[in-house]
A and B are shown apart, each in its own frame.
Chain A
Amino acid sequence: MAEAVELKAIGTRPVRPDGVDKVTGRANFGADMALPGMVHAKILRSPHAHARIKTVDVSKALQLDGVHAAISGKDLPQEGANDLSVNILARDKALYHGHAVAAVAARTPDIAERALELIHVEYEPLSPVLSIDDAIADGATLVNENMYTNGDRSLAPSNVAAKQSFERGDVEKGFAEADVIVENAYRVPTAHQGYIEPHACVATINEGGRATVWCSTQGQFDVRSMTAGVLNKKVSDIKVIPSEIGGGFGGKTTIYLEPIAVKLSEISGRPVKMVMNREEVFRATGPTSATLCRIRVGAKNDGTITAATAWLAYEAGAFAGAPVGPGCMSVLAPYNLENFRIEGLDVLVNKPKVAAYRAPGAPQSMHAMECTVDEVARKIGMDPIDLRLKNAADEGTVAPYGPRFPAIGLVECLKAAKKHPNYVNKPDDGVGRGVAVGFWFNIGMQSSAEVRIAENGGVTIMEGNPDIGGSRASMCLMAAETLGVPYETINAHVGDTEATGFCNVTGGSRTTFATGLAVVQACEDIIAQCKERAALTWDLDVEQVDWQDGRAVPKPGVNADVQPLSLADIARSAGRTGGPLLGRASLNAQGPGASFSVNWTDVVLDRDTGKVDVLAFTAVQDAGRAIHPAYVEGQMQGGAVQGLGWALNEEYIYDQQGVMENAGFLDYRVPVASDMPMIECQIVEVPNPSHPYGVRGVGETPIVAPLAATSNAVRDLLGFRINDLPLSPPRVLEAIEENA
């Protein structure tokens, strides 16, 4: 741990290395790529939410002048086709409105659009399954006739792809010991990650079968492996070059276009460009799960929670794989409980296949729990932070999912919140306040980094994680701290799959932790080499050389009449001492360290329109160690705004046929700057012992608590609770009228 050492670079707030290109428009995003001879591809999408596909005939489209290629699902490899492949191009069934059915590549986008109209698809429409209630009802229409719960073929096929449960203690005894019991059911709607940049790629493949893909992604290596899997190609035959990325939030950890573009390029012999429009992004890319969560909590009058149960149903979309596991594991994570039972269901519906979205699964289940805990606090007349402090998980607490927590910062966050001026100052009359806590596990996984030293001592970091939230700056700061050189002498580059070592995706709040660890180790490799070069130069043993403030120096007590050698000095003479300086590290990072948060918000309500306005929002979060505090705050602010949007407005609205009615930013309303107050942040630092600078991931936890904090604030104002989200004007107005 570097905790006891005075840090010089870490904790400062320099301008990000990629900032100038991004604010001046020079940075290249997914749709900016163009190649000579390139053609443009468009996708024909299902007009039905659920239908058998009897035939797909692209022959007339191929006859249109300017069309170079047209494919349907049967043109992709059939053997071993997995859910990803079937989601990318439907085979025998269209499973949601907007499901891709065929694709055309043509000289211009307009010609491609016209060609789509010439494709004949014969459908047999089926009744769509559009909600958890419909999906789990007796006799429900099956989304997938071959789906058996947990793969158990002794049971009848079901829309419940998986069930799981966690249990500890004696739940009934716990409830019997309770003075108060609160039980509620909560619904959270389908919401989209809402990244501003739509999915886009360019693909080309040569006669030897080697493909190159340029795309906007959170993980070029995952694009490579997924594309190879769908096309039955070798991973080594695909090179993926990531563009800058205009937001992902988990939604760009999977693929939709790339195999289609490669296939069309193979047929047409030309580079193929594909760019989704906003409507396609909404209709066909992964939103996150809608949920129905039932929570029951029992507590004593002193605030001790004696028992809790959670029944959590997550919509998966048309393919299994809702984030029900992490939802189950996070729902009670902030609490030290002896008695609980959690059951989770992964439920198929005729909606787009869900994709990861910041802390996948946690916002929904923790919304339900945090609202219920709020009701308990009200019933026993206890401050909501005090109630949480009374039951808070801490180091050594056995987490609901099994292991004991190592050092965590929940108690520190709660204490910081309790004495924060924004909490100490009570809200004015007519202002409601709500509190909630958030949690996310964080992950480590595999990362690589190279550190290259130029002949003037300049430092180049090469790593493989697309920079979403300022990670280049964080890498440079950790390198500056480790090497002892100025931040301004360091640049960080995100390499393609052939230019840099393997890195798992930018996701799971892992990049600053895991890839940062690789950068630190690569810098330590450089330092070791520099010490060796200095020892050679000074005729000393390497054990007699130290590295201080970016310079090699003889260790105290070593009798050597020499001048310290800076990184630039050693780099300048590198040719004479062994060649260029190149540091490397590759690792599978473990011990990412969970991150907890406490949020509270003050809201006002227009009782004539039902519109809720956020007056103030404060976020307190454990960052372990904030490498670049401004970008930690940026994550906290961004997550808060996304959570507020989900709480107040965002939802997929479907008609009875399963057609999304609000597939655009005018009708699917994400918050804009004028909707929001300044999100005030307080970073708590409980260092993660698994990282040399104490880093914890910070990117996902911020979206978890705002949902319940907002619900609880509106509850505070209204005097009654609206269980379902979003708290949009129509829903709030209806609730006011019902409770008048």
Chain B
Amino acid sequence: MAKVVFPDHLLSHTNGERELEVDCNSFRSLVQALNRRWPGIDEVLEKTAVAIDGQIYQDAWLEKIGPQSEVFFMQRIEGG
């Protein structure tokens, strides 16, 4: 089960739940699982970056997630 953590600005979409474990094998399947739990959160997560095992992805979709993975949703980073 991957550990999934939400930052403060997403807690209004997760009924205040900050951390949970999800059975998934890719980012896509994670989003699908989260959307079953909180319908509509997929649209919010589309605009969010994610760190999977320390690597930051601005547009994750097919990235693999392992049973020991740590997944952190975070704001997208812009640059100058």
A residues bordering B, Cβ < 8 Å? 150, 162, 164-167, 193, 249-251, 253, 323, 325-326, 329, 356-360, 401-406, 440-446, 505, 507-510, 588, 590-592, 690, 697, 700
Contacts and interface: CB of A to CB of B under 8 A. Distances in A.
28 contacts: A150-B9, A150-B12, A162-B9, A165-B8, A167-B8, A249-B80, A251-B80, A253-B80, A326-B75, A329-B75, A329-B77, A356-B80, A357-B80, A358-B80, A359-B80, A402-B72, A403-B55, A404-B54, A404-B70, A405-B54, A441-B77, A443-B58, A505-B79, A508-B79, A588-B58, A590-B57, A590-B60, A591-B55
B53 A700 contact: no
Given A166-B7, A326-B75, A402-B72, A700 B80 contact: yes
B55 A507 contact: no
Contacts of A405: 54
Given A441-B56, A590-B55, A592-B56, A402 B78 contact: no
Interface in B51-66: 51-60, 63
B74 A402 contact: yes
Contacts of A360: 78-80
Contacts of A404: 53-54, 70
A329 B80 contact: no
Residues of A contacting B: mostly: loop
A404 B80 CA distance: 24
| Most chain B beta-carbon neighbours within 10 Å: one of A443, A510, A700 | A443
A323 B77 CA distance: 9
Across the A-B interface, give the 3 residue pairs with the lowest CB-CB distance, nearest first. A508-B79, A250-B80, A403-B51
A652 B24 CA distance: 51
B55 A508 contact: no
Nearest to B8: A165
B78 to A, nearest CB: 6
B16 to A, nearest CB: 14
Nearest to A357: B80
Nearest to B18: A167
B64 to A, nearest CB: 12
Contacts of A445: 58-59
B80 A690 contact: no
Nearest to B5: A402
A507 B54 contact: no
A645 to B, nearest CB: 15
B70 A403 contact: yes
Contacts of A325: 75, 77
A615 to B, nearest CB: 29
Given A325-B77, A590-B57, 11 more contacts: A150-B9, A356-B79, A401-B7, A401-B72, A402-B72, A405-B54, A443-B77, A443-B78, A445-B59, A510-B79, A590-B58
A706 B80 CA distance: 17
A740 B60 CA distance: 58
A591 B79 contact: no
A329 B75 CA distance: 9
A2 to B, nearest CB: 20
Nearest to B62: A588
Contacts of B57: 444, 590
B9 A508 contact: no
Contacts of B63: 590
Given A164-B9, A401-B74, A403-B74, A443 B79 contact: yes
Contacts of B7: 164, 166, 401-402
A406 B8 contact: no
B54 A403 contact: yes
A116 B5 CA distance: 55
Contacts of B72: 401-403
Interface of B: 5, 7-9, 12, 51-60, 63, 70, 72-75, 77-80
Contacts of A403: 51-56, 70, 72, 74
Which of B8, B12, B58, B79 lies at the interface centre, i.e. has the most chain A CB atoms within 10 A of its CB?
Answer: B79
A250 B74 CA distance: 22
A739 to B, nearest CB: 36
A183 B8 CA distance: 25
Contacts of A505: 79
B80 A508 contact: yes
Given A166-B8, A403-B70, A690 B79 contact: no
B9 A509 contact: no
B55 A690 contact: yes
B17 to A, nearest CB: 15
A356 B76 CA distance: 14
A406 B77 contact: no
Contacts of B60: 590
B54 A442 contact: no
Given A164-B8, A402-B51, A591-B55, A507 B75 contact: no
Contacts of A444: 57-58
A294 to B, nearest CB: 18
A532 to B, nearest CB: 28
A580 B53 CA distance: 42
B71 to A, nearest CB: 9
A697 B77 CA distance: 14
B63 to A, nearest CB: 7
Nearest to A506: B79
Contacts of B54: 403-406
A697 B78 CA distance: 13
Contacts of A357: 80
A360 B51 CA distance: 20
A156 B5 CA distance: 30
Given A164-B8, A403-B70, A326 B51 contact: no
A588 B73 CA distance: 18
A700 B74 contact: no
Contact of B78 (A164, A508, A590): A508
Q: Pick from B9, B12, B60 the residue with the most CB of A within 10 Å.
A: B9
Contacts of A440: 79
A510 B56 CA distance: 13
Contacts of B55: 403, 406, 590-591, 690
Which of A507, A590, A697 has the most B CB atoms < 10 Å from its CB? Answer: A590
A283 B60 CA distance: 38
Nearest to A402: B72
Contacts of B79: 250, 356, 359-360, 440, 442-443, 505, 507-510, 697, 700
A125 B60 CA distance: 47
A686 to B, nearest CB: 14
A445 B49 CA distance: 11
B6 to A, nearest CB: 9
Contacts of B56: 403, 441, 443, 590-592
A326 B74 contact: no
Nearest to B9: A164
B61 to A, nearest CB: 9
A92 B70 CA distance: 48
B68 to A, nearest CB: 12
Contacts of A358: 80
A356 B77 CA distance: 11
A165 B6 CA distance: 12
Given A166-B7, A590-B55, A323 B70 contact: no
A359 B59 CA distance: 20
A519 B70 CA distance: 31
B53 A329 contact: no
Contact of A508 (B5, B8, B52, B77): B77
